[in-house]
Structure 1
Amino acid sequence: MRRALPAPVAMPSDLYGRPRPDLFLGLVSALMNGHMAAVRVLRRSTPTGQRVERSLAVVVSGRSVEAHDDNVVALTFTRPSGGILPPWRPGAHIDLTLPSGIRRQYSLCGDPADTDRYRIAVRRIPDGGGGSIEIHDAVHLGTELVVSEPRNAFAFAVPGYGSPARHLHFVAGGIGITPILPMLRLADSLGISWSMVYTGRSTDSLPFVPDVLAFGNKVTIRTDDVDGLPTTDDLLTGIGPAPAIYACGPAPMIRTLKIGADTLGDAEFHYERFSAPPIVDGTPFTVELARSGQVLDVPADVSALEAITSVLPDTTYSCRQGFCRTCIVGVLSGTPDHRDAALTDVERADHMLICVSRSQGERLVLDL
């Protein structure tokens, strides 16, 4: 029998209990700490206080149709020479720069445990901003692209690990399954009580149906062509006590769920929607584009981004909800009414996100 050693009565001089510091390990530690500090500073800010976004070169290593009506494709990205990609958690997204220069944002729908690949799914939107059409028509196996590191504006808090909820309820509308699918996998692997409603126009329009059905009777799939438009009760089918609701889908679905969540009283409600949020308490103002001198009217119910893209259609944007930073623009004159959730105080002194922010006065002059 192995004899147990007596418990120490004093703290060792270092982590490994050595009587004095190891000079070699100390030198290595100092070099690594200095390197990591430099990396953190480089990635966090520039001399003007603006955050630097890191870009990654990837190649399309997988492409598949994920809805039977052929309007959703899934793309898998890996590094051109292989290797590990930056980690991510359920709910995260990446910004994808397409060959045309268009930059769009897509949720990661793969498995975070697959550290050498990212996966997204894109529905073709004929009357959208052009990004989905380019992905469907011009992005193929072997296409080289640039993506951002993953960011998370739809964070998933697991009960017992950041959330007091006792039950998780997921609701996905069509392509809204993309951020939800990794959440389902994690909740199921942890043995957490959960339920889900997956809704859309028809079964053939829903991506990843086999993946969802694999979870068994925890999932309810309902479609408009068979079941009609869902009510609040329909969307909350299977919900348990003290729930946390995670939803992604079109604005009408989110509004319907919000009504139901408010009546529950003890429910957390987390959501991500497809479209830009409605403008609340908007007032009209004008925007001057400094490079051309053109002056645009921005009505009370229209975003600065919408007004600007009407004359500058190549203006870069993505989320339209004030968190991805893609549409950041320099402010040369005037005072912005900041409504974003992304810029630092330093950045807000002379920059704004034109997708959601407005003007405190009658006029803004932008560096466009």
Structure 2
Amino acid sequence: MKKIIIAGAAVAIAALGAALWMLAAPSVTYQVNGTSVSDSASVNVEYESSMRVQDLADHVEVRAEYDGRDVSDTIVMDDVADEMVQLGTYTLTYHLTEDEHPLQVQVTVQDTQAPQLHMDTEYTTRTGETFDVSRLNVQVYDNYDVNVLDSLSMDAVDTSSAGLKESVVRITDSSGNEAECAITVDVRDDASAAEAGTQYFVQQDPDDITLILNASHRLAQGWEPDDLTQIDDSANSGHMLRKEAADAWNELYAAAQKEGITINVVSSFRTEEYQRTLFEGYLAVDPDAASYSAYPRTSEHELGLTADISYDAQLHDDLQQSQLGIWMAENGWRYGWIVRYPEGKQELTGYIYEPWHYRYVGRTLAAQLHEQDLCLEEYYAQRTEAKND
């Protein structure tokens, strides 16, 4: 009995000693964006164009003290997925190099900015004719939802009798942010029916290498890249791209050269005026020209991020079967380049399959598109519909 009592006392003393040691042991304290936290924190971040998951760390300032000493310079962040950001919550994990006590920061990416809505506000139509959104001349922009035009709506206009009729046009992005504009419709017995209007998404951040251009998404008038750089190709043709795209292209070209692959660039950056002349020339002889040539301000060539390529001086429908096409399919995405108008996706892109038309979107997005077999239209549609939760 005495041995049991002594043993029990020893266990109790040991437990007490351990507890006292833990109380006296050095502890880690964190601060996140100036606020003291224990082992977790939450931060809200406004979405920015071309934002990748690793970029979220730029919005989180973490400091740490250990035993009263500032040890912020020893903080490390665990690796995160190399992916483009969508709206939702991401976890960033931090810890000290010599300590396993982690800090988890929940970063919620949100969009609180209303769409931009610019439009004509006065219209005329004939009595009895339907006047709806298809008659409006509208330009919109949203910092996240590139398909915001799909939500365009307006109050009904009564055209059964003549007179000035008022309506309100509304547009709502995928986060529920709304913009509206009041319009007036002059309904007259002697007027013609209102003509079809035009609705465009006008890109306001053309420096975004991931932006989408197509028949409904266009560049603002007058914009041109200011960092055009000459690129390498087998024909020394002197073509130009924006610097980031040019650097990535030259890296790709050097890799192809090492494997004996010939790459000629047939077309790259185009001015708005050049694109207009090209498009109007095609249209003059072919009413279906819009299926393979872009209206000015909707052409990716005007971005300075696109190269049409060949193994000679011509564009080839069967490029994908050539040595060049096979090499590009296997390697182009690794350098940030994608076939912008893939086979079988004409209904989505609006253009015929163009195996020669390569677009620079950056390595991160190119890898995602390659892995998931998506064109840009599909990527942005999925991004709008889904959130990262």
Place the TM-score, normalised by the shorter chain, in its bin.
under 0.3
How does the TM-score come out when normalised to structure 1? 0.25
How does the TM-score come out when normalised to structure 2? 0.24
Q: Whose radius of gyration is greater, 1 or 2?
A: 2
